[in-house]
Structure 1
Amino acid sequence: MTQETGLFIYGIVPSDVEPTPDAEGVGTPPAEVTAVRHGELAALVSEIGLEEPMGRPADLTAYESLLDGTAEVAPVLPVRFGTVVTGEDAVHDLLAAHHEQFADALTEFEDRIQFTVHGRFDEQEFIGELLAGNADAAALADQVRGRPEIESREQRIRLGEMISQAVELRREAENRAMIDAVDGLVVANAPRQPSHELDAVNVAFLVGADDEEEFVRAVEEFAEQRRDLIRMRLIGPLAPYDFVSAHQLVE
């Protein structure tokens, strides 16, 4: 029995953008990526079996790699991961229905790219700093030190709550400080939800090509100032996932 297929849509690009010959799509084996064009727009797509399981780590990696690689050479509007349509006619319908919005957004993202700054507190350093500056927390730490967990459960819970609250407050401050540190070097910022209880910084930035080097230097300086307390990562360049609402139009 022949398996029914559809088209997996990765993103929207200007009509003159061509997938690279080595571009690999989702699926096993990796599917060939092609462009379906309509007017000034094109959609990057690949064929996929409608019954084929999707959402494996390799699929998400293929999706992100294709979009991030494209974003380095042309503006791209990421479409929500997992968007599959029945065929080229459906892609043409999508591009026709939202042609003006997509074209305007592509113009907006010309020569702009996303970077994400993610940092995580070093747990021992953070707790040490907290205990040194908070007498109540230090007293609780003394009360639980060396005692069985069952005997000091109440104190441990209270100490844990104090640490959690301190992390949250410090995280808000560090996110604000990160945004201030690159003020004037970015087009927009988008604070993100923490991905871990010890997250210190998690902010996406939309950066113009002319400001990219200075932006990276500013982030490196920010990280160096906090290197004993926060383990920082600069992720990018990326497609503008946090700044594009195009995916909402195809849900």
Structure 2
Amino acid sequence: MTVYTYALTLRDHPLRLDGLSGVGAPPTPLRTVLAGPLCAVVSDVSEEPHPTERDIGAHHDVQQRLMESGVVLPLRFGATALDDDAVRSALEEHADDYAERLRRLDGCVEYSLKAAQEARQPHDHIRDGEADSEAGSRPGELGVPDARPRLQALASGVTEAFRPFTREVKPGAPSGEDFLNVSFLVSSDQDELFIASEMSLAHQMGEDFDFRLHGPLPPYSFA
């Protein structure tokens, strides 16, 4: 058997995990490995886990439940150790570091914000049968030479607009049609303000932009 680790938390965490099942086929009961003030939530697996929809969902559900009732240091899917002694040794060896991370994340969740520019249909740039001379600077014209710097500047502006409501910000590399991919660490006392600000900004930007906010999430990007 291999030990699969979902998250680290503090020894006094309520650990309300009733009704949840872990990863693996078949899943084994969730349990804890303790070391000083730290606690690792684990289960046994018979082989290295594969990122199936079911197992990814189980991994996420455990972390979400832990996050609802206390601070959590979430681990990425697939974290395993040889046995309980290996988990306990890691907790002891990095005790100060883990305790500091948990302190920093206490009372916080992560929000992930992505944004893309909605492409316009060609006929949107035709007025009375004539080409619109300003088409090159209109939203949706991603192919014009100045589009990328303009969108990069826009991404920076959007990120800075949310900084007053966040503890930490971690930009990511946009993919596909997105020009913005950023994660925010948000404390519970700023949560409602952050969400309201995102809704307000998306409304101000209008239908030319597609904003997708995901959260609250376990703070993967800041763990």
What TM-score, normalized to structure 2?
0.85
For residue 16 of structure 1, give the secondary structure of its aligned residue in structure 2.
coil
Q: Within 2, Cα distance between the matches of 1:165 and 1:21?
A: 56
1:23-82 deviations in whole A, cap 9, x for unaligned? 2221234442222111100011111112x5512232222222322332232111122321
What residue number does 1:114 align with? 110
Say whether 1:12 aligns with 2:8: yes
Note if contact 1:125-1:228 (Cα within 8 Å) is conserved in structure 2: no
Letter in 2 for 1:74: G
CA distance in 2, matches of 1:164, 1:57: 40
C-alpha RMSD of the superposition:
2.7
Q: Distance between the aligned counterparts of 1:126 and 1:10, measured in 2?
A: 49
Contact 2:10 2:37 (C-alpha < 8 Å) held by counterparts: yes
**Residues in 1 aligned to 2:116 and 2:38: alpha-carbon distance in whole angstroms:** 40
Say whether residues 1:105 and 2:101 are aligned partners. Answer: yes
Check 1:124–1:103 CA distance in 2 against 1; reply closer, same or farther (3 A cut). Answer: same
- Map of 1:75 onto structure 2: 71
How many pairs were matched up? 214
Partner of 1:190: 170
Residue 168 of structure 1 corresponds to 148
Runs of 4+ in 1 over 6 A off after TM superposition: none
Aligned to 2:143, the other structure's residue is in SS state helix
Partner of 2:128: none
Shift of 1:207: 0.6
Is residue 2:197 matched to residue 1:218? Answer: yes
Moved more, 117-126 or 38-47: 117-126
Could you state the TM-score of these two structures normalised by the residue count of structure 1? 0.76
How is 1:145-160 mapped onto 2 (pairs within 5 angstroms)?
Answer: none
Q: Is the 8 A contact 2:21 2:27 kept in 1?
A: yes
Aligned to 1:36: 33
Q: Which has the higher helix share?
A: 1
User: Residue 134 of structure 1 corresponds to which residue in structure 2?
Assistant: 136
Give the drift of 1:88.
0.8
Of 210, 228, 232 in structure 1, the residue corresponding to residue 207 of structure 2 is 228
Computing the radius of gyration from Cα coordinates, the structure with the larger value is 1
- 1:119–1:32 Cα change, 3 Å: farther
Identity over aligned pairs, percent? 26
Give 5+ residue unaligned stretches, structure 2.
Answer: 126-131
